[in-house]
Amino acid sequence: MKIGVLGAGRMTEALAAGWVRAGHDVLVGGRTPDKAADLAKRIGARAGTLREAAEFGDAVLVAVLLAGLDETLRAAGAPEGTLAGKTVIDCGNAVDVSDFSQVTYDGGGSMAEEIARLAPGAHVVKAFNQAHADVWRMRPPVFDGHPLAVPIAGADEGKPVARTLITDLGAAPLDAGDLTQARHLEAMAIVVIRLLHSGAGPLSVFAFRSAAAEER
Ligand SMILES: NC(=O)c1ccc[n+]([C@@H]2O[C@H](COP(=O)([O-])OP(=O)(O)OC[C@H]3O[C@@H](n4cnc5c(N)ncnc54)[C@H](OP(=O)(O)O)[C@@H]3O)[C@@H](O)[C@H]2O)c1
């Protein structure tokens, strides 16, 4: 699969390295060209502009800090339709770490819903936001003999690609509903982030268990 990535930070390095290892063709787009180029070289990917990454990918990962979301999507051409018809994975977290409160849009909406608003026609799926980047350096992310469950919430059209990208990292997708449910995944992540800030190890994760999950 061709995967474009918007952002050249820690999540991109952790996730995209695994996708390159799984055989995908990855183009890292960053606002800081040298940073994107260095990262791409380290993981065996290509580098380019944010717009090139948006145009390149059949799937596109958005991995930028919340403060840069709007600017990044505009630079990627999202409002003009560069992400239309594509699976857009949002791994971001909408949290104010000064008091661990949730940042929301338009009276309660999620970051993922904001991406869908800024990227008309994109099939947005929230995923990978619940665990520290170091978890994605585990090959595979297995805890007590179980692959990590990765909740996803978003557009049905985007879920097959999201599931593939999760299983390619050795984890297990867990369907948590449509895009309206992404706000709950963003809230759950704040529990983890607060614990990490309190000294919990980076490999701390929620571990979902159910008979149905084991069968998937
Ligand atoms: N790190 C984790 O453990 C973790 C885990 C789960 C979810 N997340 C979420 O994943 C997303 C990416 O996190 P990360 O750890 O990869 O972040 P990071 O290492 O800090 O990299 C952030 C990326 O966002 C860009 N960026 C930052 N501020 C910006 C601004 N104001 N305008 C435009 N671009 C800006 C940076 O651009 P430059 O390249 O120019 O610096 C960089 O490419 C965040 O939403 C974060 O909450 C992180």
| Protein residue whose Cα sits closest to atom 23 of ligand 1 | 64
SS3 10: helix
pLDDT exceeding 70 applies to what percent of the chain?
97
pLDDT score for 210: 79
What average pLDDT does range 107-133 have in this prediction? 97
Cβ of 30 less than 6 Å from ligand 1: yes
Contact 158, 83 (CB under 8 A): no
pLDDT score for 135: 98
Residue 117 CA to residue 153 CA, distance in Å, equals: 16
How far separated are the first and last CA of the chain, in Å rounded?
Answer: 23
Which residues on adjacent β-strands are paired with residue 59?
A: 3, 87
| Protein residue whose Cα sits closest to atom 5 of ligand 1 | 132
* pLDDT above 70: residue 212: no
Residue 213 CA to residue 26 CA, distance in Å, equals: 30
SS3 12: helix
Ligand 1 atom with minimal separation from the 12 CA:
16
Cβ of 203 less than 6 Å from ligand 1: no
pLDDT score for 52: 98
Exposed/middle/buried for residue 29 (C-beta within 10 Å: 0-12, 13-18, 19+):
buried
Question: What is the DSSP-derived secondary structure letter of residue 44?
Answer: T
| Protein residue whose Cα sits closest to atom 33 of ligand 1 | 68
| Protein residue whose Cα sits closest to atom 25 of ligand 1 | 64
What average pLDDT does range 162-182 have in this prediction? 98
Cβ neighbours for 102, distance < 8 A, ≥ 6 positions apart? 94, 95, 96, 183, 186, 187, 190
Question: What is the DSSP-derived secondary structure letter of residue 148?
Answer: P
pLDDT score for 209: 86
Residue 81 CA to residue 214 CA, distance in Å, equals: 38
* pLDDT above 70: residue 1: yes
What amino acid occupies position 98? Answer: S
SS3 43: helix
- Spatial CA neighbour of 169 closest among 193, 130, 142: 142
Domains and CATH numbers, the chain: 2-215 (3.40.50.720)
| Contacts by residues 193-197 (CB-CB < 8 Å, ≥ 24 positions apart) | 193/93, 193/95, 193/97, 193/100, 194/100, 196/132, 197/97, 197/100
* pLDDT above 60: residue 69: yes
